[in-house]
Structure 1
Amino acid sequence: MTKRASEECPRAVSRRSVLQSAAALLSVPFVAKATAAFAQEKLAGSGEVVVFSYGGSFTEGIRKQVYEPFTKATGISVVDVIADFSEPQVRAMSQAGRVDWDTAFIQAYNYPAMHEVGMFLPIDYSLWDEESLQGTPKTARHDDMVVGLQTATLLAYDQRSFPKDGPKNWADFWDVKTFPGPRGLDAPLGKRSILFALIADGLAHDDIWPLTDDKIDRALKKLDQIKPQVAKWWTAGGEPAQKLINREYAMASCYDGRAIAAIQQGGPVRIVWEGAYMNQNYWTVLKGGPNSKNAQKLIAFVNRAQIAAGFTQGTGYPGPNTNQLKYLPAELNPLVSINPQNATKYVLEDSSWLAAKRADGKTNADHVQERWLAWRTQ
């Protein structure tokens, strides 16, 4: 297996660094057995498939848990290309009429515009086994994409600070009398803290989106209350979990993978799924790619329950197939977002609304971020 490298500097926190560091800590020895059942005729083949990946431990994990078993089962080799984000390269290749990749992870925020101009092929669900179709919700299986992985920003706290009864929601995060101690919130993207503030102020999950100006006003007013308690506005993905361990935070917003990794390593970190902010990345088959049939087989393979469990352990983040819960370690099962007890508690980002253009030509995401940055500099 070879690797082609392509690096791009992200706008804020490096998504690749977030993913790979969490994966390095969370990865548990698990090699999905490539049995004869996985080598069905409809997945067998030859040649290669060129896939986009985030690099580092993320790619190391997915190679071990998915790509190597896939090659063993099907005879198709995997070539991975590395970058922080796939979208700039996918757009450039599509515009040039020369697509060198076969699959890519596309951030949900970027998907609508790329879908609109036809950059992706329909997913061939006829290659999926019944366990995959039953375990993967229809909301995660669209015509030309399937949810590949999901990442959340949630409330995490130091159990030593609250040994008996820790915070249970974002209202508790704002309750400094009952739950004293320094707080941590992220500086780069305001949409997450705005959502947390609205939930803390009593807005129902179903009423969060769209983030109209009156809701943003309400959120920023609520954030005024907690601002003095924020010991540091974190900028790097690894900061909140480490600062919780170092007792620099009593509680903080934190990436789920980072927090779960700390828990798996025996750290005194606990997580609260209520009101978590959820993002999704999509698996896509690129239109014009050189090995589209093999790409369809890879996506069918990775969404099989046992392989999906390997993907979760190898990368640190789960795909949508809930049947993988049968194959995850008992200690990890209750922590992940796809556990039914957690799946009803988070708020999924309205990526289509964020990507939509306003009358002034800016996206809603740009507008929300401008409001956030203006507030932060006050």
Structure 2
Amino acid sequence: MSEQVSRKLPRRRVSRRSVLQSSAALLSAPLVAKATAAFGQEKLAGTGEVIVCSYGGSFTEKLRKYVYDPFTKATGIRIVDVTSDLATPVIKAMHEAGRIDWDLAFVNPLDAGYLELRQAGAFMPIDYSLWDDEALKGAPESTRFTDVVVAFQNANLLVYDERAFPKGGPKSWADFWNIKEFPGPRGLGANGLVGVVFALLADGVPYKKLWRLTDDEFDRALKKLHEIKPHITKWWVAGGEPIQLLINREYALTNAFDGRALAAIKQGVPIRMVWDGAAISDNYWTVLKGGPNSANAQKFIAFVNRAQMAAAFTQATGYPGPNQNQLKYLPADLTPLISINPDNAAKTVRLDTAWLAAKRADGKANADYLGERWLAWRAR
């Protein structure tokens, strides 16, 4: 999530691992799907192991208890953990060396090197024939690619302190810019991409016309951001900062990551998430071509995308996988707080990762160009 949304856009200096494991550590214990041979189904049964690269810490600990161990019990295939904050540089090194030591890895489509790896054929086609009907129907086609599949999605959204607005808080990014009706210190992340998105939404750009950004639209976003800049008391960098600053009452409202906010709410922190205009980005499962246990890796992906296991993944990590059929297995108090809830999903904006990674006429990726302009604006 990875919570990273760009390669070179300004962002926090905290590891992706720490962001994810912090959220996972605070969630209530999920229900473990009954792992039996029947649940694993004969076509997923096997022997040996599968080597999975994850983020470590409590994120992986929760996955082991609520996803990995049930997979082993149901199929007979062991999970071997390896950890890496950013998998793509390691995958690239293995690919160039011609020796692939992992089977599965989380990757973010905006990580440096991801496109090159995909174009070089480093990822195997996903074997959707192993998926059960509930998984295929529950995971939208837009999340199921030929050679990658969405593992989980994260949202960057407006969050506010309920104590600061006892009569009702902001409901949109336009409200975030409305200093008169919603006074108080504000925060924004140092990541320029989502700031641009929020500014354009606040300025009235319809969701469907947001992408793909022209230079004029970027100028418009910076002009709008200039209005709110004097009211930003801190441009936060680390993923845990905005929630802590809300708790300390140093912010009245800010943007923050959904997993962080969800974990705090589950602990009784008086904050509220606003889904209108939340920016959604994806993290993928990849099966590495040439890995030692590719067949077992395919079985694991089929297993983790089953509705019950998808629900366990969401409860363990705080970040939902794409299978919407998991909603019927989640606690009633959790479903209003996650991005795949249909009511929330209808209000979100998905980052156009293909456009962000695409090259401009000058040879720069759109994401890099936006990052450079953002840095120049912040420095003024």
TM-score range with shorter-chain normalisation? Answer: over 0.9
Cα distance, 1:11 vs structure 2? 7.9
Shift of 1:178: 0.4
Give the structure 2 partner of residue 348 of structure 1: 350
Paired with 1:369 and 1:218, the residues of 2 have a C-alpha distance of 16
- Which amino acid letter does the alignment assign opposite residue 257 of structure 1? G
- In the aligned structure 2, how far is the partner of 1:36 from the partner of 1:91? 36
Q: Which residue of 1 aligns with 2:36?
A: 35
- Provide the C-alpha distance between the structure 2 equivalents of 1:93 and 1:273, rounded to a whole number of angstroms: 40
Aligned twin of 2:329? 327
Determine if the alignment matches structure 1 residue 170 to structure 2 residue 173.
yes
1:313 aligns with one of 308, 312, 315: 315
C-alpha distance in structure 2 between counterparts of 1:158 and 1:253, whole Å: 12
Partner SS, residue 175 of structure 1 = coil
Query: Mapping of 1:51-130 within 5 angstroms?
Result: 51-110=52-111, 111-130=114-133
Q: Is the 8 A contact 2:101 2:292 kept in 1?
A: yes
1:104/1:283 contact within 8 Å kept: yes
Offset of residue 206 of structure 1: 1.3
1:287 aligns with 2:289: yes
CA contact (8 A) 2:174 2:201 kept: yes
Q: Which runs of 5+ in 1 are unaligned?
A: 1-9
- 8 Å CA contact 1:27–1:315 kept in 2: the answer is no
| Partner-residue secondary structure (3-state), 2:361 | coil
C-alpha RMSD over aligned residues: 1.3
Output the CA distance in 2 between the equivalents of 1:142 and 1:377: 40
* Residue of 297, 300, 304 corresponding to 2:306: 304
Give distance in 1, aligned partners of 2:269 and 2:249. Answer: 11
Query: How far, CA to CA, are the matches of 2:207 and 2:295 in structure 1?
Result: 40
User: Is residue 2:123 matched to residue 1:133?
Assistant: no
| Partner Cα separation in structure 2 for residue 209 and residue 338 of structure 1 | 21
Q: Could you tell me which amino acid in structure 1 is paired with residue 23 of structure 2?
A: A
Normalised to the residue count of structure 1, the TM-score between the two structures is 0.95
Aligned to 1:182: 185
Report the alpha carbon displacement of residue 27 of structure 1 after superposing the two structures with TM.
4.2
* Mapped contact 1:23–1:61 kept (Cα < 8 A): yes
**Corresponding residue for residue 4 of structure 1:** none
Q: Deviations over 1:172-192 (max 9, x none)?
A: 0000000000000011x2001
Deviations 1:213-234 (A, max 9, x none): 1111101100111011111111
Q: How many residues are paired up?
A: 368
5 Å matches for 1:359-374? 359-374=361-376
The residue identity in structure 2 corresponding to 1:197 is A
How far did residue 282 of structure 1 move?
0.7
Partner of 2:24: 23
Q: Secondary structure at the match of 1:211?
A: coil
What is the CA-CA distance between 1:35 and the residue it aligns to?
2.5
Offset at residue 329 of structure 1 (A): 1.0
Match in the other structure for 1:264 = 266
Letter of the structure 2 residue corresponding to residue 146 of structure 1: V
Q: Does 1:213 align with 2:215?
A: yes
- State the SS of the aligned residue for 1:254: strand
Unaligned runs of 5+ in 2: 1-10
Counterpart-to-counterpart distance in 2, 1:35 and 1:334: 30
Provide runs of 4+ in structure 1 moved above 4 Å: none
- C-alpha contact 1:52 1:86 (8 A) present in aligned 2: yes
Which residue of 2 is the match for residue 250 of structure 1? 252
Matched position secondary structure for 2:163: coil
Contact 2:177 2:202 in 1 (8 A): yes
